């Protein structure tokens, strides 16, 4: 009986999101990115029909929130892991509309994990983003990366998260942040940065790694 229940209720498939904030992802690209996110996320669900997909997002302004909105539209639950306590994190995006969006998405989240209110005091900001990266590496089977293709800009940045995920053997699907090109699946090959072009709705779904 236990084995039958496990078969009927398999472990959810956690899909992580990493990517740029608006300063490295122009707003004119957002509609394309949203549409590509929807295509990629639908494809992931099709490739894993026995598992319920859910998103894991850090809810930073930009890529993280675009993915969270798409997840809501697709009926995916999403979980949040914050780099800092929400009262500190809101200071990173002081515009009222950005704070409102953040609070609305927090309210829609299935679960929220965040450091204590004063955890950030005396720590470099990179410590918080490293914590988000560690959660993505620990929990995700697939990572969607909205990345401009450029070299690392520092610890905890998008490229660093991608490299860490690939070293862990996590499937990484790259959506270009500034170019209208098809998504690519980046091979989990240690430090090598090999990649192959991939159509997310092609018949090769089960083999692109």
Task: Tell me the C-alpha distance between 65 and 37, whole Å.
Answer: 11
In angstroms, the first-to-last Cα distance of the chain is 35
pLDDT band at 203 (very low <50, low <70, confident <90, very high): very low
204 has pLDDT over 60 = no
In the β-sheet with 184-186, what is the strand arrangement from edge to edge? 111-113, 78-81, 53-57, 13-19, 142-147, 171-176, 184-186, 195-197
Confidence (pLDDT) at 157: 85
pLDDT per residue over 101-129, tens digit each? 999 999 999 999 999 999 888 889 889 99
The helix or strand, by DSSP H or E, that contains position 13, with its residue range, turns out to be strand 13-19
pLDDT band at 99 (very low <50, low <70, confident <90, very high): very high
CA distances from 28 to 22, 62, 122 (A): 10, 12, 37
Q: Domain coordinates of the chain in residue numbers?
A: 2-194
Mean pLDDT of the chain: 87
Range of lowest pLDDT (31-40, 121-130, 146-155, 199-208): 199-208
Range of lowest pLDDT (2-16, 74-88, 118-132): 2-16
3 has pLDDT over 60 = no
pLDDT per residue over 146-192, tens digit each? 999 988 776 778 999 999 999 999 999 999 999 999 999 998 755 44
The residue-averaged pLDDT of 61-67 equals 96
Which has more confidence, 208 or 19? 19
199 has pLDDT over 60 = no
Choose the CATH number for 2-194 among 1.10.1660.10, 3.60.20.10, 3.40.50.450, 3.40.50.300: 3.40.50.450
């Amino acid at each position: 009986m236990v084995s039958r229940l496990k078969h009927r209720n398999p472990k959810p498939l956690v899909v992580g999101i990493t990517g740029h904030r608006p300063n490295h992802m122009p707003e004119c690209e957002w509609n394309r990115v949203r549409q590509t996110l929807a295509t990629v996320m639908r494809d992931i669900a099709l490739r894993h029909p026995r598992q319920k997909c859910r998103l894991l997002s850090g809810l930073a302004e930009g890529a993280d929130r675009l993915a969270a909105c798409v997840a809501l539209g697709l009926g995916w639950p999403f979980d949040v892991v914050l780099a800092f306590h929400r009262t500190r994190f809101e200071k990173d995006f002081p515009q009222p509309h950005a704070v409102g969006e953040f609070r609305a998405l927090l309210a829609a989240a299935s679960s929220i994990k965040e450091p204590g209110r004063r955890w950030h005091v005396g720590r470099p900001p990179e410590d918080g983003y490293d914590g988000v990266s560690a959660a993505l590496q620990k929990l995700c089977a697939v990572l969607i990366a909205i990345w401009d293709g450029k070299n690392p800009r520092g610890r905890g940045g998008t490229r660093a998260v991608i490299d860490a995920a690939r070293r862990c053997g996590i499937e990484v699907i790259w959506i270009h942040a500034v170019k209208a090109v098809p998504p690519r699946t980046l091979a989990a090959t240690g430090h090598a940065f090999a990649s192959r072009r991939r159509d997310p709705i092609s018949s090769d779904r089960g083999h692109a790694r």
